[in-house]
Structure 1
Amino acid sequence: MSQASVLPSFRAPGSSEPVIKLAEARKTYKTGSIEFEALRGIDLSIAEGEYVAVVGPSGSGKSTIMNILGCLDTLTSGSYLLAGENVEDLDEAELASVRNRRIGFVFQQFHLLASLSAWRNVELPMMYAGVHRDERRARAVAALERVGLGDRIDNKPGQLSGGQQQRVAVARALVTEPTMILADEPTGNLDSHSTEEVLGLFDELHASGRTIVLITHEHDVAARARRTVHVRDGLITAEEASA
């Protein structure tokens, strides 16, 4: 069986199974004899095409949720089903492929390489996937045009504003055509104008059918999502739909 055949394949909208399902999810970190339970048995389901914000104060467990959903960390106990597949059943190569091809990541820190132009930063996920150079450039330029930076493809990060750098990061997340976008405090380093630009991009991505999970401590940012999940002390304390 080929690697591609055992990777989670995101189903079409309308599928009865959620694309994300956490059940009794627990995560405990250990430092010497000290243990800290970051997640304390949470249940969370997200349907394909949903726009969900996970909101809570610092230390609430929301970034741990993001790391689990993005296959960047593993649960201590409980289960995580991604498109119906138990993540624990995937080996390291399969997890790496899921992270690179199926999930687009956007972080508070833009994680752009200062020595590379915008399009070369955007092409990086495709380099890891073995895409041919000419196709990488074409797709990187198209992604930058999609986020309104078609005239900045050759600019390096130092020549771009904070909002523009985050848009480059969004383009990089989009270039592999992932079905799901995970965004961890993506507006944390932005002014109000740039925040509105980036949230506008997420609105467009949601309208196009992508699943978006937005991690934030800002309630006005969370209000842009269609559903808000409130987290505190490693527990989900409330869920509400946007008006």
Structure 2
Amino acid sequence: MAELTYAPDRWASAPAEPVIELEGVTKTYRTGTVEFQALRGVDLRIGVGEYVAIMGPSGSGKSTLMNLLGCLDTLTTGTYRLAGEDVGELDEIDLAEIRNRRIGFVFQQFNLLPSLPAWRNVELPLVYGHVPAAERRRRALEALDRVGLADRARNRPGELSGGQQQRVAVARALVGEPALVLADEPTGNLDSVSTADVLSLLDDLHTAGSTIVLITHEADVARRAERVVRVMDGLIQSDEVIR
């Protein structure tokens, strides 16, 4: 497996400025006359280069929080600043730009396109970013090499194991060299060997300089992080540095 490298950009260039800063954030879902408050006033700061696990049981609000951090959903009240920029003031074009170029996503469901080989799946963020074809291919193959799958670049997802598919998803997350990686239950569908493999990849990304936010309900997985934030009933119950 090739050594992971990190190319810093303006989102990780000011150590005095947190990458993530939430103040009084709430999120309310409405269905007809019924309201459900998924987040009830969250304050959170995550600095450049931190590895943070957000823990909580099902329904605690942790996945809602992840969607807000990844600009996949909008908050109801409060403020979210990403690298000092108020996300609430950005339009859909700006938010799409952030999701594509500044944040790498790894989900429990691998979200790979079954008809495309691994390298084509990995290059997709660069396609949306209008990177030239030759450069896309070079960077996709390099990303697959980083996660130890250079020899599987032409395999389609159905020809790969679950652990290998998740490694392709990790390669896709890092192909744009993001400063922030959001991983939502990335080991939820994996066996113990594949889980250890993927967590080692996240360790390598962190060592290389990326800020990692890991959403999980598993204590063993959370212990791989440096800091654990526990969420319950839409509120942060504890925020502990563990190493």
User: What TM-score do the two structures reach when normalised by structure 2?
Assistant: 0.95
Contact 2:12 2:179 (8 Å CA) reproduced: no
Structure 1 position 9, deviation (Å)? 3.3
Say what the alpha-carbon RMSD is for the aligned residues: 1.0
Partner of 1:10: 11
**Identity %, equivalent residues:** 66
**Structure 1 residues 81-230: aligned runs within 5 Å:** 81-230=81-230
Other structure's SS at 1:189 match = coil
Other structure's SS at 1:131 match = coil
Other structure's SS at 1:10 match = helix
What is the one-letter code of the residue matched to 1:102?
Answer: R
For 2:79 and 2:181, the matched residues in 1 are separated by 21
For 1:102 and 1:114, the matched residues in 2 are separated by 25
Contact 2:199 2:224 (8 Å CA) reproduced: yes
Structure 1 position 17, deviation (Å)? 1.7
* Gap regions ≥5 residues in structure 1: 1-7
**Structure 1 residues 31-46: aligned runs within 5 Å:** 31-46=31-46
Deviations 1:27-81 (A, max 9, x none): 0000111000000001000001000000000000000010000000111000000
What is the one-letter code of the residue matched to 1:235?
Answer: L
Contact 2:26 2:38 (8 Å CA) reproduced: yes
Structure 1 position 242, deviation (Å)? 1.5
What is the one-letter code of the residue matched to 2:11?
Answer: F
What is the one-letter code of the residue matched to 1:26?
Answer: T
For 2:10 and 2:79, the matched residues in 1 are separated by 18
For 2:141 and 2:10, the matched residues in 1 are separated by 26
Other structure's SS at 1:176 match = coil
Structure 1 position 16, deviation (Å)? 1.5
For 2:186 and 2:113, the matched residues in 1 are separated by 17
Structure 1 position 89, deviation (Å)? 1.1
Where in structure 1 do 4 or more consecutive aligned residues deviate above 2 Å?
Answer: none
